[in-house]
Structure 1
Amino acid sequence: MKDIFFCPEESNFYANCIENLVLRNCEQSESIVEFGSGDGSPVINSLLRNKFDGVVHGFELNTSAWKTANSTIDEYNLTTKYIINNSCLFQASQPKAKYLIANPPYLPAPDADIYMPLLFGGMDGATVTNDLLSLDYENVLVLISSFSHPQSTITHAKEHEYMVKNFVILPLKFGYYSSEPKVKNHIEKLRNHHMAFYSGEYYFLAGVLFQKNQENAVDLGRELTQVMTSL
């Protein structure tokens, strides 16, 4: 369905990041908030593969995706573990949680008139991601694209007292949404201003766990910046 985000490789990567960077560190009865749940498959797959006894509270604006997600949640009897609201996290009474997770909209473009408007991440692609880091959750897992001004996100995180706790990198080929001429041309302009980084048809997608600064903790922000700008 064209009105629901579909990229199996990216969704699988997001699921693996949730498992390795979040669920393995969760204590009993932990609460997780998710921005932009989509069809729910990354979290559903993660829950099916892990013994997590907490609750994931998702927020998804796309009604079609929300309905699809809830149908799958019912199918796998996960209704007590994964609850998705058909609303925007930024406009809701934000639930308390130890972790905020998201594969946020990161497509840069001059405006939101693109194949799927809900994937618009602002003119530099980093707007929504940076807004999520302003919500003040203790731990934030987000996917960051190398063509979406990654330095701005790392800098913004630091300004909000976050350090990079851990990260995983996936080389991805430009897909259906990022190859739209309007988007691709804008990304090329960002590259000319050293705000987007890619090589040929490939870019880096990073799963990054940000954590509120803790004493004696190692900040991997410099290493992440070096990797994301190396293309």
Structure 2
Amino acid sequence: MNNIDINGLGNINGGNYDSVGINGMGTINSDLICDELSVNGKGKTLGRINTKSMDVNGLLTCYDDIEVKEPFEINGVLSSKGGLKGQSVIVNGRASFNKGVNVDKVEVNGDFIAGEDCQCGSFYSEGRVRVKGLLSGDNIELNLSLTNEINEIGGETLKVRKARRLIRVLFFTKSRRSKLISNVIEADDIYLEHTKCNVVRGKNIKIGDGCDIGKIEYSGELIINGNSKIREKFKV
């Protein structure tokens, strides 16, 4: 194996490498397997990416699935027509996947999009999250500084609240009124603020300000402290 650096304009074949660096504008023509991938310029891969470590500080477009074995950060823009599998990811810029995401730990400070399900152990966000399938995890915390759209949420503990501090997120201009929009929420312990949802199911549920909920089903305790609209509520 060897090292490849693209500092100007270049194309390389896929294959096995120790490290690959894209500091200019580069295209990888097929599947890439490497120990280290660093993108500080503009990169494109036409096949899968399988790497031990990855840093995205520029723009990376991948036409297939991505697997990263070690924790990594996205400080630029990562766009994939496939999905993501890995240990841990911090999104400070923008990450978009057409398919599913399966990562132990996710932290979002920028913009995160999953076209299918997102499965994780823990999910923490202060940015914008859009999941077209199910967001599932043991612990999910959404601090709303922007509008989040998640089709379904399932887990053990879920906290949704207005961000306590105002943050400026890359790629956004004016922040609209922040809220969570979801069809179904289901978890053991739930706390919600500024959430619009059709059905909320759980054991212990606490509702704060700004919620618009069609139906709540709970088996333990229901506490409603805030100014919210709830059409139906049932103890099961």
Normalising by structure 1, what TM-score?
0.29
Name whichever structure is richer in strand by fraction: 2
Structure number with greater Rg is: 2
